[in-house]
Amino acid sequence: MSLTNSLKYCLYFFILSRPFSVNAQTDNSQAKLPYFTASLFSASTFKIDKSANDLNVSYPYGIELQYTKQLRDENSWQQNACYFNSGMGINYFNYNNALLGQSMAIFYVFEPQVKLGEKLKMIGSANLGLTFLSNPYNKNNNVTNSYYSLPISAYLAFGAGLEYPLNTNFQLSLLAKFIHISNGGTQEPNKGINMAALNARLSYNPIDNRLEKFTRKPEKLILKNRLDVGLYASNKNIAANDLTRYFIFGAMANYSKQVSSINALTGGIEIIADQVTQARLQRDQLNKSSMRVGLLLGHEFLFGKFSVNQQIGCYLFNDTKYFNTLYQRIGVSYYTNAHLSIGFSVLAHTTAPNFTDLRLTYYIRK
pLDDT score recorded for residue 50: 54
Backbone angles phi, psi at 311, to 5 degrees: -140, 150
Domain boundaries, the chain: 3-204, 225-365
Same fold, 3-204 and 225-365: yes
- In terms of pTM, does the model score above 0.85? no
329 in Cβ contact with 317 (< 8 Å): no
71 in Cβ contact with 93 (< 8 Å): no
Instruction: Kindly report whether the peptide bond that precedes residue 136 is cis, defined as omega within 30 degrees of 0.
Output: no
pLDDT score recorded for residue 26: 41
What is the pairing mode between strands 225-236 and 340-349?
unpaired
pLDDT score recorded for residue 198: 97
User: What fold characterizes domain 225-365?
Assistant: Porin (2.40.160)
Distance CA 219, CA 125 (A): 27
Q: Identity (one letter) of the amino acid at 168?
A: T
pLDDT score recorded for residue 157: 94
Q: What is the pLDDT of residues 76-103, one digit of tens each?
A: 776 666 788 889 999 999 999 888 999 9
103 in Cβ contact with 152 (< 8 Å): no
pLDDT score recorded for residue 140: 83
Coil vs helix vs strand at 276: helix
Backbone angles phi, psi at 15, to 5 degrees: -65, -45
pLDDT score recorded for residue 339: 93
148 in Cβ contact with 116 (< 8 Å): no
Distance CA 127, CA 116 (A): 23
Residues 134, 332, 11: CA angle, nearest 5 degrees:
55
Which ranges of 168-230 does DSSP label H, i.e. alpha helix? Answer: none
* Digitized pLDDT (tens) for each residue of the chain, 366 residues in all: 443 444 444 444 444 444 444 443 444 434 688 999 999 999 998 765 555 555 668 899 999 999 999 877 777 776 666 788 889 999 999 999 888 999 999 999 988 888 888 889 899 999 999 999 999 998 888 888 888 989 999 999 999 999 999 998 999 999 999 999 988 888 888 888 999 999 999 999 988 877 777 776 666 667 889 999 999 999 988 877 777 889 999 999 999 999 987 889 999 999 999 999 999 999 999 999 999 999 999 999 888 788 989 999 999 999 998 999 999 999 989 999 889 999 999 998 877 788 999 999 999 988
Would you state the torsion angle of the CA atoms of residues 84, 79, 253, 334, taken in this order, to the nearest 10 degrees?
Answer: -40
Second CATH level (architecture) for the domain 3-204: Beta Barrel (2.40)
For all residues of the chain together, what is the average pLDDT?
Answer: 85
Mapped to the 3 state alphabet, what secondary structure does 31-99 carry?
Answer: CEEEEEEEEEEEEEECCCCCCCCCCCCCCCEEEEEEEEEEECCHHHHHHHCCEEEEEEEEEEEECCCCC
Taking the mean position of all CA atoms in its chain, how far away is CA 357? 14
Distance CA 314, CA 293 (A): 9
